[in-house]
Amino acid sequence: MKKCYRSFFVGLVVAIVLGVFSMDARAQMAAIAAIDEPEAAAEARGSAAEGGSGSQSSSKSTPKGGGSTKKGTTSGKKAKTTSPVKPKATPAPPPASFNGPVLGDKYTFLNYEVASAEKPYYTRAAKAMGAKGLVQVEVLVSTDGSVISAKARTGNKELWPEAERAARASKFNRPTADGRPARAIGFLVYRFGPPEE
């Protein structure tokens, strides 16, 4: 009898382990692969990171009379120079209330429900840092198939912004429940770099 329980337990453990590995392999195979960042996007990203610092090159003003400028003001205090203020990213507004059905949950794999997938860029900066692997992005899908919100939750954080951007730009099949329009919750998986062996 002990032998029977032992073989049952071993069989159960093997089944669980194989199930976990096959689930990971399925997610790996179904992951949306990132594409290399185009040259133009990399240049645009680089110039945006500089913040227009080239425009601040020695632009000394001369007084209207054409004479030399004095440092400071008449009160003897130094004049303050102001640096350009970078606009803060505004967070997305919370989704409007919805009284219809909501399908899935945050553990529902949605890669197979994507009608048109936007591929994330595998940026040069991320490559230089050695960032690679899978990134999960939790999404809320509207009744028309557009993405209301996208929040990365696993993987290298250097890859999160691109994964979230791609998720927000993707379109899904319209979710329905019993013929009625519905929303859907779940996650997408993106792969940056070569598939893991």
Distance between CA atoms of 142 and 15, rounded to whole angstroms? 37
Is pTM beyond 0.85 here? no
Distance between CA atoms of 136 and 153, rounded to whole angstroms? 6
Please tell me which residue, 106 or 1, carries the higher pLDDT value. Answer: 106
- Using CA atoms, how far residue 173 sits from 12, 65, 93, 111, 181, in Å, is 37, 69, 23, 11, 11
Q: Model confidence over 147-172: pLDDT tens digits?
A: 999 999 999 999 999 999 999 999 99
Please report the pLDDT score of residue 178 as a whole number. Answer: 93
Q: Model confidence over 58-93: pLDDT tens digits?
A: 444 444 444 444 444 444 555 455 545 545 555 656
